[in-house]
Amino acid sequence: MDDDRGRETEDDRPPICPACGVTMGIVVDGSGRTGHVCLECGYPAESSD
């Protein structure tokens, strides 16, 4: 059995939309900055540099 307790791991799962609860997808704007948009309702998340 795998035991992850005590391990420092980065959560690389995509964020969940606060509006509808569906997984968000990565988008890139015209200036090359990345952000997330909901795949279901289109709710935008803040861009991350």
pLDDT in tens, 1-49: 555 665 667 888 889 999 999 999 999 989 999 999 999 999 986 655 4
**Domain for residue 27, yes or no?**
yes
Number of other CB atoms surrounding residue 7 within 10 Å:
7
Q: Which of 6, 5, 4, 43 is nearest to 23 (CA)?
A: 43
pTM for this prediction? 0.60
Predicted pLDDT of residue 44: 87
**Domain for residue 6, yes or no?**
no
Predicted pLDDT of residue 4: 60
Structurally, the chain folds into a number of domains equal to: 1
Domain holding 36, by residue range, is 15-49
